[in-house]
Amino acid sequence: MILDPLIPFEPVAAVAIPDDKEWVHQVKWDGVRLLAYYDGETTALYNRRKRLRTAQYPELADATAYCGARSAIFDGEVIALDETGKPSFHQVMRRDSLRRLERLPSLRNALPVVYMVFDLLYANGRWITGKSLQDRSEQLDKLLYETENVRRVPWQTDGEGLFNAVCSQNLEGIVSKNLHSVYQVGGKAPVWRKIKHYKDVIAVVGGITYREQTVNALLLGLYNEQRQLIYIGHAGSGRLTAKDWQELTKTISVLKQSVCPFSNTPPRASETQWLLPRLTVKIQYLNRTMDGLLRQPVIQAFVIEDPSRCRLKEFTDEATN
Model confidence over 67-117: pLDDT tens digits? 999 999 999 999 998 888 888 888 898 888 877 777 778 778 888 999 999
Confidence category of residue 213, pLDDT binned at 50, 70, 90: very high
**Position 5 in a domain:** no
With 70 as the cut, is the pLDDT of residue 161 above it? yes
Per-residue pLDDT band for 320 (boundaries 50, 70, 90) equals very low
Residue 291 maps to a domain: yes
Same domain, 42 and 183: yes
Residues 294 and 224 in one domain: yes
**Residue 227 belongs to a domain:** yes
Q: 146, 164, 196: which is the final residue of a domain?
A: 196
Boundary residue ending a domain (165, 196, 227): 196
Domain that holds residue 88: 10-196
Which residue, 57, 71, 160, is CA-closest to 111? Answer: 57
Among 196, 226, 241, where does a domain finish? 196
DSSP state, 67? B
Which pLDDT belongs to residue 2?
66
- Beta strands (DSSP E) in the chain are 10-13, 23-28, 32-38, 43-47, 72-80, 113-123, 126-127, 150-152, 173-178, 188-196, 199-211, 214-223, 229-235, 256-257, 273-275, 280-285, 287-288, 294-295, 298-303
For residue 1, being part of any structural domain is answered with no
- Based on the domain organization, do 17 and 89 belong to the same domain? yes
CB < 8 Å & 24+ apart, contacts of 309-315: 310/201, 310/202, 310/203, 310/204, 310/221, 310/222, 310/223, 310/280, 311/222, 311/223, 311/224, 312/222, 312/223, 312/224, 312/225, 312/230, 312/232, 313/224, 313/225, 315/201, 315/222, 315/232
Mean pLDDT highest for which of 53-57, 78-82, 135-139?
135-139
For residue 176, what pLDDT band results from cuts at 50, 70 and 90? very high
- Looking up residue 314, the CATH number of its domain turns out to be 2.40.50.140
Q: Which residue, among 21, 28, 37, 33, has the nearest Cα to 74 in the 3D structure?
A: 37
pLDDT for residue 197: 85
Name the average pLDDT for the chain: 92
Shared domain check, 188 and 315: no
What's the average model confidence in pLDDT over 13-30? 93
pTM of the shown model: 0.78
Q: Are residues 189 and 234 in the same domain?
A: no
Q: Are 37 and 1 in contact (CB under 8 A)?
A: yes
How many structural domains are present in the chain?
2
Give the whole-angstrom CA distance, residue 39 versus residue 315: 37
Domain-located, residue 241? yes
Residue-wise pLDDT for 247-304, tens only, equals 999 999 999 999 999 999 898 888 999 999 999 999 998 778 878 899 889 999 999 8
Tell me the CATH number at 55.
3.30.470.30
**Do 163 and 307 sit in the same domain of this protein?**
no
Same domain, yes or no: 40 and 175: yes
**Cβ atoms 206, 229 nearer than 8 A:** yes
